């Protein structure tokens, strides 16, 4: 039996990692500035993370959700405090797609309405409901075409209000920062307006913080920059530092009934332990502050000393610098296409991509300014600066 052809693969196999460093089978060393799609939040093989998971595995790895699991309660309490949502409840699942699926389901249960408003360029996952809210028709089969999702342009107040005014929408789902699209922010003013519009029309505001959350931007969730609160928040990726776990933070106005949601593996003992270890490290090592600091280092390196980004990217290889903290999109000019491959194969830096013209940086929140400086130096050398 062969593997189903799902991804195009580089001929590189990492076999060991420590912090932001990876080694392949031949012992070749790489710097990881992508974290496996923003998953590695506290670094590879962090000793505290390894210790907690190893000890938990020696006690109990899994039992079903038909019994008490105090680790789930501890995680809910800790996550509520660090995120500022301690009055919300937590549903634990296994992935970001599953979190979004259940978030939209909850909005529909609560409002009794059947439609969801999503945004152009959005990516919310590949399960049936999540992919229906993902703006990429190539990912949707005929089975996924339920017709219950409408797309608006990000920032289009008139289009959003026209849709919501019909009274048919259970929820609006929006990413704190659009990641797969190439690092596009909805804008603080737009998110404040969207919060007000959802309240006006009885629609739940769902914030997909799967890639932009868990301290990546310098705040725990990206939507906290404009100071709003969402009705439902989804998280995954950095939540478990590589161990599969997802979560849905649910407003107290949504009343739970037995049977509304369910999962076999969600919130298992190992997953909760991984998530608790991540919170320990984020707090103990002040990683949100580090994300803001090193993110600012990157911004100044590419944009100069001013406060602008889009309007102030003098680097000759860049069309635009986008993002907050350690969620960064570097849109390169046509003549520099292929730069990502050169960064990997010539300088041994793992980065992400969004199409052919955006390089994404999503490193561990433990990254140092020294490591960031080595990347900037390699970038400038490869682009002839």
Span 47-96, pLDDT tens digits: 999 999 999 999 999 999 999 999 999 999 999 999 999 999 999 999 99
Q: Rounded mean pLDDT of the chain?
A: 95
Short-list 230, 201, 203, CA closest to 88? 230
Residue 263 and residue 267: Cα distance in Å, rounded? Answer: 9
Mean pLDDT throughout 113-132?
96
Tell me: pLDDT of 310 over 60: no
User: What three-state secondary structure class fits 355?
Assistant: coil
Residue 287 DSSP class: H
Structural Rg of the chain based on CA atoms: 21
Split at pLDDT 50, 70, 90, the class of 355 is confident
Tell me: pLDDT of 308 over 60: no
Tell me: pLDDT of 143 over 90: no
The partner residues of 352 in beta bridges, in order of sequence, read 360
Q: Which residue has the higher pLDDT, 315 or 216?
A: 216
Q: What per-residue confidence (pLDDT) applies to 385?
A: 83
Q: Which residue has the higher pLDDT, 306 or 105?
A: 105
Q: What per-residue confidence (pLDDT) applies to 8?
A: 87
Split at pLDDT 50, 70, 90, the class of 307 is low
Percent of the chain with pLDDT over 90: 89
Mean pLDDT throughout 228-241?
98
Mean pLDDT throughout 155-164?
97
Tell me: pLDDT of 347 over 80: yes
Split at pLDDT 50, 70, 90, the class of 311 is very low
Sheet containing 149-152: give its strands across. Answer: 89-93, 246-250, 232-235, 204-208, 169-175, 115-119, 149-152
Tell me: pLDDT of 32 over 60: yes
Q: What per-residue confidence (pLDDT) applies to 305?
A: 72
Cβ pair 272, 74 in contact under 8 A: yes
Residue 267 and residue 265: Cα distance in Å, rounded? Answer: 6
Cβ pair 91, 77 in contact under 8 A: no
pLDDT tens sequence across 243-288? 999 999 999 999 988 989 999 999 999 999 999 999 999 999 999 9
């Amino acid at each position: 039996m062969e593997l189903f052809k799902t991804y195009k693969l580089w001929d590189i196999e990492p076999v060991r990692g420590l912090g932001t460093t990876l080694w392949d089978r031949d012992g070749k060393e790489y710097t990881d500035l992508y974290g496996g799609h923003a998953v590695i939040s506290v670094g590879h093989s962090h000793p505290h993370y390894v210790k907690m998971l190893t000890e938990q595995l020696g006690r109990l790895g899994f039992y079903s959700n038909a019994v008490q699991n105090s680790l789930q309660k501890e995680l809910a309490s800790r996550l509520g405090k660090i995120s500022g949502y301690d009055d919300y409840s937590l549903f634990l699942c296994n992935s970001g797609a599953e979190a979004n699926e259940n978030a939209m389901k909850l909005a529909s249960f609560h409002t009794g309405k059947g439609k969801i408003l999503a945004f152009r360029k959005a990516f919310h996952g590949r399960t049936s409901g999540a992919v229906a809210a993902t703006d990429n028709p190539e990912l949707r089969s005929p089975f996924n075409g339920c017709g219950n999702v409408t797309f608006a342009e990000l920032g289009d107040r008139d289009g959003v209000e026209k849709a919501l005014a019909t009274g048919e929408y259970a929820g609006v789902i929006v990413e704190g920062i659009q990641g797969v699209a190439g690092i596009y922010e909805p804008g603080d003013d737009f998110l404040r307006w969207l919060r007000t519009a959802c309240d006006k029309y009885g629609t739940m505001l769902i914030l997909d913080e799967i890639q932009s959350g868990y301290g990546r931007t310098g705040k725990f969730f990206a939507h906290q920059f404009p100071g709003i609160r969402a009705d439902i928040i989804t998280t995954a990726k950095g939540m478990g530092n590589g161990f599969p776990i997802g979560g849905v933070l649910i407003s107290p106005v949504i009343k739970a009934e037995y049977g509304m949601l369910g999962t076999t593996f969600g919130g298992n003992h190992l997953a909760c332990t991984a998530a608790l270890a991540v919170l320990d490290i984020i707090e103990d090592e002040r990683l949100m502050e580090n994300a803001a600091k090193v993110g600012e280092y990157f911004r100044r390196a590419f944009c100069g000393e001013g406060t602008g980004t889009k309007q102030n990217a003098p680097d000759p290889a860049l069309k635009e610098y986008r993002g907050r903290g350690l969620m960064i999109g570097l849109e390169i000019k046509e003549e520099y296409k292929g730069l990502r491959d050169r960064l990997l194969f010539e300088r041994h830096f793992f980065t992400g991509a969004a199409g052919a013209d955006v390089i994404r940086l999503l490193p561990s929140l433990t990254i140092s300014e020294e490591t960031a400086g080595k990347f900037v130096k390699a970038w400038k050398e490869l682009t002839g600066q």
